[in-house]
Structure 1
Amino acid sequence: MFTPTSQERAKTFSDVVKHVNDSNFSLDAFTVASGSGILEVGTVMGQATLGSATSAVKASGANTGNATMSAVTVLDGAVSGIYTVRMLTATTFRVEKPNGDVIGDGATGTAFADDIGFTMTAGGTPMVAGDGFDVTVAPGSLKWKPHDPAAVDGSQVAAGVLGEAADATSADVVALGVKWGAIVVLEELTFKSGISAPNRAAAIASLGAPSRMILARGT
């Protein structure tokens, strides 16, 4: 537990949170990830729901062609699970989410960037329809971090508000957090330094989404 400075003692849970629908469901113990720094009450938080991505030749069998795939990056909107990349022709492919929804089509030699990012490079032996790769996006740690619009591990989504000060500079720390069904004071929320007005507005909207219902209201 972090012991706040005298200046931080001026901001309390009741300064930030004006109403919770049900304390048994609205509040939770947030495991704040090491490296998050010193955080004050009211810090807008995101959760690390995604890990890294790895690719492999399709699990259903070897490819006829020998195209290769670059290292895969996890982008905004990704979910954990296995993405399938399947050739439509020797040079074009289709990408599907783990639930089977089609994300879009791409082509060898051109970067694909939607949920996941990669470039497929044609080899000496052409690929055929049905060839492809499986891309596994690992689950994240589910630890909480200060909301960062530039993150790609899930913490780019504003999903909670810190209810007490915490020092997670060099170790994980457990702190009270608001995750659902609450009214918070907009002026008392702390966003990432330098956040743009559109990203700030998006974070406020994300907190207020039906799955969270953390409504930020001005004083």
Structure 2
Amino acid sequence: MGRALRTATWDEPTAVSDVLKSEKEGHFCRGVGVIKSGAGVCDIGLVLGKILTGAATATAKAGGNTGTGTVGAVAVNQGAKTGVYKVRFTAATVFQVLDPDGNVIGGNGATGTAFADDLGFTIAAGGTAFIAGDGFDITVAAGSGKLVAYDPTANDGSQIADSVLLHKVDATSADVAGAVILANGPAEISPAGLKWGANVTTQAHRDAALAVLAKKLILARQSA
């Protein structure tokens, strides 16, 4: 049985009205999200991202391989999908990577050379060469769905703006349930009332987040 969420406590130097300017009748734009333990003290107005992908694990394809080479550590990069990526050799040193939807990504890869696309990894050749049809399956786990500060440098899904926090919470050492602005109808927010994570360092980062929120009908407008 999982650990119960801690009850959130806060004091609010900023009012909800400084962030949320209007919303669909009935508060249908609001919901509850889980702020991930370790996120620290998160202030009202913080733009949040959701953890959508987890770690990746690689195994030899079903039936095994003729070649004895191995896959090194796998990095999950921006744009990665959850599910199984199939690495398949077309020749002794050449392979292709298919994403979980069956699309070839990244062009041809080669043993001994770093592959970088949705995933990053290097396949080392072994004492016995690979043959066509050899390969590996790399499974990208689903993320926790918990919320952290929007981070344009991340690669776990939190690089995409998801929602906006409506109350200050302390998630330093435990998950905390907090009220957030979601995408269930048009809501207007004030850019001046928003807070940003440490890795949001440029206006381009902020503009990208606001553009994503706008698609979710969370619309930024300047205060009158």
Code of the residue aligned with 2:10 in structure 1: it is P
1:149 CA displacement: 1.5
1:93 CA displacement: 0.9
- DSSP-derived class of the 1:208 partner: helix
- Percent identity reads 46
- DSSP-derived class of the 2:92 partner: coil
Q: Does the CA contact (< 8 Å) of 2:8 and 2:177 recur in 1?
A: no
1:45 aligns with 2:37: no
* Correspondent of 1:205 among 211, 217, 223: 211
Q: TM-score normalized by structure 1?
A: 0.91
Whole-angstrom CA distance in 1 between matches of 2:30 and 2:115: 39
1:88 maps to 90
Provide the aligned C-alpha RMSD in A: 1.6
- DSSP-derived class of the 1:154 partner: coil
Structure 1: stretches of 5+ with no match in the other structure? none
Range with bigger deviation, 191-200 or 46-55: 191-200
1:33 aligns with 2:39: no
Range with bigger deviation, 33-42 or 100-109: 100-109
1:51-62 equivalence runs, <5 A: 51-59=54-62, 61-62=63-64
Code of the residue aligned with 1:204 in structure 2: it is L
Range with bigger deviation, 23-32 or 198-207: 23-32
1:1-219 equivalence runs, <5 A: 1-5=7-11, 9-21=12-24, 25-59=28-62, 61-104=63-106, 105-180=108-183, 181=185, 182-193=187-198, 195-209=201-215, 212-219=216-223
Whole-angstrom CA distance in 2 between matches of 1:40 and 1:218: 20
Whole-angstrom CA distance in 2 between matches of 1:58 and 1:130: 9
